[in-house]
Amino acid sequence: MNIVFVCRFSGYTTSDTDAVADAYDPHKYFPSREAACCGSITKGRCDINSGLTYVHNLLQGVAEKLCTMNDVDAAVARTMKVRMEMGLFDPTDDQPLTKIGLESVASKETQALNLETAEQSLVLLRNSDNVLPLTAGKKLAIIGPLASDPTPMMGTHYKGYACPNNDLKCVPSILDSIGIINNATSRGSIVYEEGCDVDKGNDRKIKDAVEAAQDADAVVLVLGITGEQEHEGMDRTSIDLPAVQHNLSAAILALKKPTVIVLINGGMVALDSEASFQGSLAIVEALLPGAVGGTAIANGLFGKHSFGGRLPYTIYRSTFVDETPMSEMELTAKPGRTYRFYNGVVSYPFAHGLSLVPCKLSLSSGTSPQGSLDTAGSKTIDVSIDVSAPSSAEINASQVITAFWKPSASLMNEIPLKSQLFDFQRVSVAPGNTLKVVFSLSASDFEVSEVGTGNIVVLPGFYNISFTDGDSTDISYGLTLTGDKQVIENFPNKN
């Protein structure tokens, strides 16, 4: 079945980077490059190959009668149609993107937006004993294999043009960025030790790191993985933080110093021992924060912003890979996958995240804790949530309020999922203020894929809705959908 055909898609399709070549070698799906080209255009309706395989082999495939020029012309027509709809053949005076000049590159406005984006992406996983914010002017030990090198923060692609000379010399590391803030006063000092390499190390390096940390007021551990552990074309067989980094963190945490772990990683890394540590520990999931990531991280550590990001995935225990075969693609197969179906124990759930300025959530005055909608109607219900920041805060509270629904027990056979995110809103609340956040609920928020048919449906019944701040505050709302089952979209079929 050609999914492009059954979904009546009218645009053009393109391959991943030279995936047409991959279909021949190494996957051996086609017996030759010529066959891969023609099969991709006809069976796969792949109009554009991101690579040179079409250039070098497609016409030979036509000559071998594996496809026809009509097939090639149809692919060209689809790509030209979209380009014309975008106005790419119109006079340049009519195209606003052609008016963007070099003065827009690295302007003050774009740099500020870059920093704001990086700061909003950071996720504060825990902050036991209020380790954060750090106080500038202290003696800090900065430890870890990713503290002094800004390269891993940039990811594995598209980082060659970050600086004027096409290098990364203008990108501040986490170590540099912490030093700028902490050493702004004469009392501040920093000592740095690598502690280990990303995936190997020795006792001497860990011992040096422990000695540095012993004399510090607080420790910042910068851990994670890089493109050497995972990248396009190279998967990991383990989701765990490299063992040598667990050893390093265990040695540092044994000192009972106020400690912050900052994680730099693209794919998820398991933190079994760190997440369960009993003591003064903060953990910041920085993901791949980009060129100003070091500055964004340092600003958060010293309380210049309150964090407020939410986890884009579940942080599973390291044993998750032993529970689910890699070949199992069914999300509902036990123990399940993703926050919607997984029934095991996790270290940190999807959408989790703390703020340095915790807010109080409550239903706004006059908002009922329950309501009803018709499955076939277009009516909406507004649910108002008051988000209040403490007057003692010194900075604005950054919060992402998430909205999840859960099917009631009577619906579990028809909707076998644990919960479903259907909306979220980011807010910034000034100290001492209350902001009203309004969520508009409609029947379309409860569309699901029906078990057995695959149809998109809305089912009548009772739904439990929760509005949460990413931590412990949870506002409950009950919604009853009345009426009959509504089929919104039938599962596509060729007929």
Report phi then psi at 186, rounded to 5: -65, -20
In sequence order, which residues have a C-beta less than 8 Å from that of residue 26 and are 6 or more positions away?
none
In sequence order, which residues have a C-beta less than 8 Å from that of residue 398 and are 6 or more positions away?
120, 305, 306, 307, 308, 355, 357, 426, 427, 428
d(CA 9, CA 87): 20
Q: How many CB atoms lie within 10 A of CB 238?
A: 13
pLDDT for the residue 140: 97
Q: Is 253 exposed, middle or buried (0-12, 13-18, 19+ CB in 10 A)?
A: buried
Tokens of 345: 């124990």
- How far is CA 326 from each of CA 235, 238, 329, 455, rounded to the nearest angstrom? 11, 11, 8, 27
Under-70 pLDDT residues of the chain? 1-8, 157-161, 494-495
In sequence order, which residues have a C-beta less than 8 Å from that of residue 412 and are 6 or more positions away?
none
Q: CA angle, 339 as apex, 334 and 341 as ends, to 5°?
A: 30
pLDDT for the residue 473: 74
Q: Are 427 and 395 in contact (CB under 8 A)?
A: no
Q: How many CB atoms lie within 10 A of CB 87?
A: 12
Tokens of 72: 């090639």
Residue with tokens 């750090």: 134
Kindly write down the DSSP assignment for every residue of 331-376, as one continuous string: TTSTT-SHHHH--S-EEE-TT--BBSS--EEEEPTT--SEEEEETT
Across 113-211, the runs of DSSP E, i.e. the strands, are: 123-127, 139-143, 189-193
- SS3 percent helix, strand, coil of the chain, rounded to 5, is 30, 25, 45
Nearest to 355 by CA among 122, 135, 176: 122
d(CA 35, CA 248): 52
Residue-wise pLDDT for 132-154, tens only, equals 999 999 999 999 999 999 999 99
pLDDT for the residue 387: 95
Compute, in degrees rounded to 10, the torsion defined by CA atoms 169, 170, 175, 180: 140
- How many Å from the N-terminal Cα to the C-terminal Cα in the chain? 11
pLDDT for the residue 3: 52
Model pTM score: 0.90
d(CA 207, CA 223): 17
pLDDT for the residue 1: 43
